[in-house]
Amino acid sequence: MLKHTIIQITDTHLFGDKNRKINGANSYSNLKKVLSHVALSEKPDLIVVTGDLSQDCTFESYQHMANVLNCTGIKYYLLPGNHDDVDVINKVFDFNWVKDKVDYSCDFNNWFISVVDTSVYPEVGGQLSDEQIKKLENNLVKNKNKSTLVFMHHHPIFVNSDWLDEMILKDADKFNKVIQANSQVKAVLFGHIHQVFEKTINSTFYGSTPACCYQVQPNTKTFTIEKLTPGYRVIELNNDGFCSKVVWVE
Ligand SMILES: [Fe+2]
Ligand SMILES: [Fe+2]
C-alpha cells in the first residue's frame, strides 16, 4: 500500500539575528535541529509550517526560514500566524499573498489539502471571514470524494487554558459546522498554542503540534513556560486513512 508522509512544523518564531532567543529558546537552532531530525528519520513528501514563522517580521528572519527549508530539498507549504507580516513574506518567497486571505488548496496524491489563513495581522487572535468560510465550504463540497486535511494557525476548539481560549478562532462554530458537514475531513491540524492538544469530534481528529521554539504548560490560567525542547508532528497517509504522532527532538 502506498504511504505518504507529511511533517507539520509550527511556531518557529525566528529572528533576523540567529543568536537571539525567545523565552530561553534559540528558535533558529531549534528549527535546524528539527529539520535535521526530520531528514534523518522520516523522509517526508511534504513539510507544512503552520504559522508564527517569524517573531520580529524581519526580511532576514524569513530569509533564514527559506534557506533552512530549501536546504532540505523537501517540498513545503507555509501559512501565516499572528506574528507574521505577509508583505515581508512575499518579498522573500515571491508568493503574492494577500494579507489575512492566504487560503489555498491542492491535491496531494489521493488526498486533498486545504490551508486556511486565520491570521488578522497584527491581532493576536484568529478569525476567518465569511468569504473565507464560504470558499472553504465550496472547496470541500467540490472535493467531497477525497480524504482531506485542513491546516491552520489558530485553534478552532477550546484547549482548557483560559488565556489561550481567549484567542480561539473567532466564530469557531461556523468553521466547525463546515468541517463536521464534510466527513471526508480526516484531520484539522493547527499550531499557535505551543503544546499538544488532541481531540476527536465525530470522525474528525483535531490536533495541535508542539512549537519549534518553546512549549507552554497545558491547563493553565496564564502563560507559563513548560520546556524548551522542540517538537513536530508526523502525519502518515494511506489509501484507508491516516495516523499521526508527535515527535520530540531532545
Ligand atoms: Fe506561536
Ligand atoms: Fe500564534
Pairing of strands 4-9, 46-50: parallel
Q: Which ligand is nearest to the CA of 169?
A: 2
Residue 248 main-chain phi, psi, to 5 deg: -100, 140
Q: Are 178 and 133 in contact (CB under 8 A)?
A: yes
Q: Ligand 1 centre and the CA of 145: distance in Å? A: 33
Query: Residue 52 C-alpha to ligand 1 middle, in angstroms?
Result: 5
Residues 222/164, Cβ–Cβ less than 8 Å = no
CA 73 to ligand 1 center in whole angstroms: 25
- Nearest of 98, 103, 109, 100 to residue 75 by alpha carbon: 109
Of 218, 6, 213, which is closest to residue 106 (Cα–Cα)?
A: 6
Q: Which ligand is nearest to the CA of 22?
A: 1
Report the distance separating Cα 58 and Cα 70, nearest Å. 19
Let me know: does 59 contact 91? Beta carbons within 8 Å: yes
C-alpha 238 to ligand 1 mean position (Å): 30
The CA 177 to ligand 2 mean position distance, Å, reads: 23
Which ligand approaches the C-alpha of residue 155 most closely?
A: 2
Q: How far away, in angstroms, is 3 Cα from ligand 2 center?
A: 31
Q: What is the pLDDT of residue 97?
A: 96
Per-residue model confidence (pLDDT) at position 239: 82
Instruction: Tell me what pLDDT residue 1 has.
Output: 63
Give the C-alpha separation, 228 to 226, whole Å. 7
Q: Which ligand is nearest to the CA of 25?
A: 1
Which residue in 235, 237, 227, 233 sits closest to 247, CA to CA? Answer: 233
Q: Which ligand is nearest to the CA of 82?
A: 2
Number of Cβ atoms within 10 Å of the Cβ of 150: 25
In angstroms, the CA 198 to CA 217 distance is 15
Q: What is the pLDDT of residue 223?
A: 96
Ligand 2 center to 174 CA (angstroms): 21
**Interval between CA 238 and ligand 2 midpoint (Å):** 30
For ligand 2, the distance from its centroid to the CA atom of residue 124, given in whole angstroms, is 7
CATH number at 21 reads: 3.60.21.10
**Number of independent structural domains in the chain:** 1
Contact 99, 170 (CB under 8 A): no
Full residue range of the structural domain in which residue 149 is found = 4-248
The Å distance, Cα 189 to ligand 2 centre, comes to: 14
Please give the grid coordinates belonging to residue 162: 483560559
Residues within 5 Å of ion ligand 2, judged at the Cβ atom: 52, 81-82, 192
Positions of the chain with pLDDT under 50: none
